[in-house]
């Protein structure tokens, strides 16, 4: 019987043990240091993980490992080159939480355009019920040009939703052809053009060595005066201190963030919390009851397909896939 190790500290988070007991022995492995993990996973045929790091040195210790199932759209926690060299297949779920992230992103964009955070703050803080207490004018949603930095699965879902509101969409993504964008009525532009002309800039790209802190002082300064900034993608893409200064200077009108470079109390987070121009949520964009169930249903199906030898039906991760978001 196959041995599946699920990397989680809480067995009650899922029911893989019940789901797969006809084909495998399922054990739950609380994350620990690499030496502990190597001991616990020693005879595992399959690992199911979320964001836990699966490094080259860990893989070297796992001679029986055949498959890694990542419960996410991303796979940057796995050393893909080391897995490939050892003949370990890595699969993820490219459809997981796409709708949820797109919905959350659009909700934030609409809230910024309609100035909901600022007016809510004014009502609560100043007990004032008055239009015009926010310095920026409100423009109709459909009059806004939305710029998407990245046009993968989530970016395309965001575009489709906002097009229903009548918004014009433009996008920058060096890995997506102009034809793909134009087929979806999205205008392809270069990075500088997007920054200079978009009323709202929303991020939909992976976090890697080339994209880390891609938004700093220079990029915020290049953005259109009065533009809005949204990041429901990855913390570390934007320098929050630079963003705060751009908002404080009045160049950027407002910002909505579901992810931060450091997601714990910090002086910068406290400064943003105190400002009505910042709409903040605690990394909840990918959560929903439906998404959590779907990712486990898909993981079970993938594992059964793998054990049956139907490899061509599996969403195998390649190096190119790991660059998409």
- Report the percent of the chain where pLDDT is more than 70: 96
Sign of the CA dihedral 38, 39, 42, 45? negative
pLDDT in tens, 177-226: 999 999 999 999 999 999 999 999 999 998 888 999 999 999 999 999 99
How large is the average pLDDT for residues 112-126? 96
> What integer pLDDT is reported at residue 322 of this predicted model?
47
pLDDT at res. 75: 87
Does position 22 have pLDDT exceeding 80, yes or no? yes
**pLDDT in the model for residue 223:** 98
Looking at residue 17, its pLDDT comes to: 81
- The full set of domains in the chain, from first to last, is 2-96+289-323 (3.40.50.720), 98-280 (3.40.50.720)
* 190 burial level (CB within 10 Å; 0-12, 13-18, 19+): exposed
Percentage of residues in the chain having pLDDT higher than 90: 82
Q: For 138-147, 196-205, 266-275, which range has the lowest pLDDT when averaged over its residues?
A: 266-275
Residue 109 confidence (pLDDT): 98
Give tens-digit pLDDT for 231-268.
999 999 999 999 999 999 999 999 999 999 987 778 89
Check pLDDT > 90 for residue 108.
yes
Please give the average per-residue pLDDT across 71-77, as a whole number: 87
Distance CA 222, CA 77 (A): 33
Number of other CB atoms surrounding residue 116 within 10 Å = 16
Give the least confident one: 146-160, 212-226, 283-297: 283-297
CB half-sphere exposure, 215, CA atoms < 13 A: 31
Dist. CA 211–CA 77, nearest whole Å: 16
**Whole-number Å distance between alpha carbons of 151 and 65:** 34
Q: What are phi and psi of 306, to 5 degrees?
A: -65, -45
pTM for this prediction: 0.89
Instruction: Tell me what pLDDT residue 145 has.
Output: 98
Average pLDDT value for the chain: 93
pLDDT of residue 74: 83
Indicate the pLDDT class of residue 12, thresholds 50, 70 and 90: low
User: How do beta strands 278-280 and 252-257 pair?
Assistant: parallel
Give residue 76's pLDDT. 85
């Amino acid at each position: 019987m196959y041995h599946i190790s699920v990397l989680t500290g809480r067995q009650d988070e899922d029911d893989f043990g019940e789901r797969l007991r006809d084909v495998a022995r399922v054990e739950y492995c609380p994350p620990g240091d690499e030496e502990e993990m190597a001991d616990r996973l020693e005879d595992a045929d399959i690992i199911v993980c979320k964001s836990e790091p699966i490094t080259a040195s860990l893989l070297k210790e796992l001679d029986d490992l055949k498959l890694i199932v990542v419960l996410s759209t991303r796979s940057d926690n796995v050393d893909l080159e080391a897995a490939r060299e050892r003949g370990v297949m890595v699969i993820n779920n490219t459809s997981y939480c796409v709708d949820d992230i797109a919905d959350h992103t659009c909700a934030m964009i609409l809230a910024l355009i309609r100035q909901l955070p600022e007016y809510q703050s004014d009502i609560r803080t100043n007990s004032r019920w008055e239009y015009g207490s926010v310095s920026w004018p409100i423009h109709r949603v459909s009059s806004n040009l939305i710029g998407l930095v990245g046009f993968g699965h989530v970016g395309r879902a965001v575009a489709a939703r906002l097009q229903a509101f009548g918004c014009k969409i433009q996008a920058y993504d060096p890995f997506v052809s102009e034809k793909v964008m134009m087929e979806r009525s999205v205008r392809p532009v270069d990075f500088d053009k997007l920054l200079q002309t978009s009323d709202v800039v929303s991020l939909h790209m992976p976090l890697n060595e080339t994209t880390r802190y891609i938004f700093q002082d220079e990029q915020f300064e290049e953005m259109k005066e009065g533009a809005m900034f949204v990041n429901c993608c990855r913390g570390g893409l934007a320098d929050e201190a630079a963003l705060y200064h751009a908002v404080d200077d009045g160049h950027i009108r407002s910002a909505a963030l579901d992810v931060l470079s450091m997601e714990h109390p910090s002086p910068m987070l406290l400064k943003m919390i105190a400002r009505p121009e910042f709409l903040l949520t605690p990394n909840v964009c990918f959560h929903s009851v439906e998404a959590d169930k779907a990712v486990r249903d898909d993981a079970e199906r993938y594992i059964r397909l793998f054990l049956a030898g139907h490899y061509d039906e599996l969403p195998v991760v390649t190096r190119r896939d790991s660059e998409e978001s």
